[in-house]
Amino acid sequence: MNWILDNLPRIGELTLAHLALSLPAVIIAFVLSIPLAWGANRVRALREPVLTGTGLLYAVPSLPLFILLPALIGTSVRDPLNVVIALSIFGLALMVRSAAEALDAVTDDVRTSATAIGFSGVGRFFTVELPLAGPALLAGVRVVCVSSISLVSVSAVLGVSSLGSLFTDGFARNIIGSIVAGILMTVVLALICDLLLVLAGRMLMPWQHSRRRRPLLARAREVAA
């Protein structure tokens, strides 16, 4: 406990480094997954290859990928960029499938109605399909966010600074407080980011929480199914 109090500045510093590695990866994964998922749904022949391909990426273990990337993109082994790219790949592997399924779940009736009242293809996608797929997309991003934050730590064994450095230092110098602080901060960080995502979801999708319309929507969905 004393160790934690004595090292608060270092813990804060490492927390920021941790965020700098994980958040860009989450954003990249999310932004890239939408066009990929859209394309996979649009061109049916591509759907299975894209989904299986990205699924296979998820089977690649993180530490070996951190080591493989330098050979592919010419960075050094201790470059934080490897971690960001590797985590983006993992995030993408998870996110493409959920995005494809989320966009696919928008019923044809809705699409046809939107076209009938004059939406163009692009306009329909951004104003109708994307918002309707929103809740499922949010669920996907939440998973990616939490798992990215916990995965970053592994890169500490290669010497990349993050909360994971508290584990390697603590193990090397036999300081339990350091490891406990690292675990606690990682979990707290994951919880805070998750909570922020939920709040952002409520702000962007207020219709999800208006109680009067919810049962009606649910009923409409049942009838449609």
Q: How far is the CB of 117 from another protein (least distance, A)?
A: 27
Assess 225 for contact with another protein (CB under 8 A).
Answer: yes
Asked if residues 28 and 150 have their Cβ atoms less than 8 Å apart, the reply is no
Stretch that binds another protein, among 24-32, 35-43, 93-101, 120-128 (CB under 8 A): 93-101
Assess 79 for contact with another protein (CB under 8 A).
Answer: no
Residue whose C-alpha is closest to residue 146's, from 182, 69, 94: 94
Stretch that binds another protein, among 2-10, 25-33, 67-75, 125-133 (CB under 8 A): 67-75
Assess 119 for contact with another protein (CB under 8 A).
Answer: no
Assess 26 for contact with another protein (CB under 8 A).
Answer: no
Assess 198 for contact with another protein (CB under 8 A).
Answer: no
Assess 98 for contact with another protein (CB under 8 A).
Answer: yes
78-to-68, 81, 84, 159 alpha-carbon distances in Å:
12, 9, 12, 6
Report how far residue 96's alpha carbon sits from residue 102's, in angstroms, rounded to the nearest whole number: 10
Q: Catalog residues that contact another protein under the rule CB under 8 A.
A: 56, 58-65, 67-68, 70-72, 77, 94, 98, 101, 136, 139-140, 142-143, 146-147, 149-151, 153-154, 156-158, 163-164, 166-168, 170-171, 174, 176, 179-180, 182-183, 186-187, 190-191, 225
